[in-house]
Structure 1
Amino acid sequence: MASLTVVSHALLGALLLPPLLNLLPIVAGAAVIRRWPRAGRLLLAFGVTLTYLLSIPQTAIWLAQGVERYPTIRPADLSSVDAIVVLGGGKRQASEYEAIVPGDDSLARLRYGAYLARHSHKPLLVTGGAPLGGVPEGEVMARTLQQDYGLTARWVESRSSTTLENAQLSAPMLKAAGATRIALVSQGWHLARAVPFFQRQGLQVLPAPTGLIRYEGPAFMRYVPSGGAMRNCHVLLREYIGLLYYRLRPGA
């Protein structure tokens, strides 16, 4: 059964994020341009400009600077931690495998978590429920760790629906085993929101970012629209909204 919290957040995000964010002024401009030509043209121009800005790598780079707050680490930096926590980031139906597999974000996190675990010999916790129904992400991640990386997760948290719940439900499992110092693995843009949640559960957190927003090629290509840059802008804006939401939400 889908989480009402996750569904409501998704619906609100649809209104506040691309593509509706930039399509609405275009639609509004087209609707009023005959009656109010100047206002219509301004709305159309604003919508087109916003569409361009939210589809270029340079905007993603600017946005990332505000949320990618933590430097990358090396396995040697994990000498003082008790466990590695990998946050779920989605799953998908893979017909070629006839199975549910980790989504792109989850897979990037799992790969880095496995890399750190192999080189540091620290135990792994994977966390993620089934906010939209189906098999919990934690179980999918644990299976993938075993099948693809030959690693067994010591803890599997599979009831959470949000990043906040990842922290709330994972912390007791870790503390019961005496693990209070963790390396937290997720995309760099996600850790700005995730790290405080785990710290508030009484854990010492070493951020372990992966998937940092970077682009190759000549500088002028940063101003050429692309689908990848559009996705990155969407994800980064969502994180800004998430940070604002939890800052305003009492007790979060």
Structure 2
Amino acid sequence: MKAAILAVILSCSAHSRAATPAPAKESPAPHELEAVQKQAAGKLELGAAKKESLPREILWVRDSVEYAKACVQAFRWGGQAVEKASRRQKGDWAVVLDVDETVLSNLQYQIELGGKPYDPQSWDAWVRRKEGVPIPGAREFLDRVRSLEGGHVVFITDRRSSQEEATIENLGALGLFKDGDLLLGKIDKADTKEARRRCVEQGKRGQNPRCQARSPMPIIALFGDSFRDFEEKYEAQAYAARSDEDARWGGRFFVIPNPLYGQWERGYK
């Protein structure tokens, strides 16, 4: 009898052990899963050792919240100023913007340069790849300008005039360039940004054929990442010392931060 009872107990114990599933491995949290996926793709998370091989200015533009918010802030303040100034305009008017590092980020090009100096051949190849991405806040600002009565968007860039088509296609694919906008690349050394701003202001009344189809338009705001987007090169060094007293900064002139390159590297010479 005792032997039979013992056999039953052992049988139940064995069945209990077999029926109890092994503890399941805990599923990773969504952010952990994302990190695993990025590592599997060869993209390291913030703080990984490989990332530190990039210059700090590239890391700041690529990774910092502060950079993105500084750009958004400039465009929002600029939007408020443009909206206010537009109420005083009769007829057409324009906002003029630089392209590179103002509305279009070329950070990937800087990364691919790997610390080597800029050269026209690699830059031209990059432009024709049409892989620039929007600067934070730019698209919303441009749409705001276009929504205002009489408002026109004009891009004045140091990209060569031969690169205009690729540039417009890159901007257009991102919703940054739309019908009615104007883009003026650089034809030659004499074709300064100041000369092209005059072209916009004079329109069909001027001598520049590139603006002959346009009505004259006052420029009520300028956006750029370089001093030359606001003042010509020969004026920059003398003007820089007193620019903090000029009410146009933050009123008509709006700067997008660019720690990657600029006139500051050459002392504004």
TM-score (normalizing by structure 1): 0.43
What TM-score does the superposition give when structure 2 sets the normalisation length? Answer: 0.40
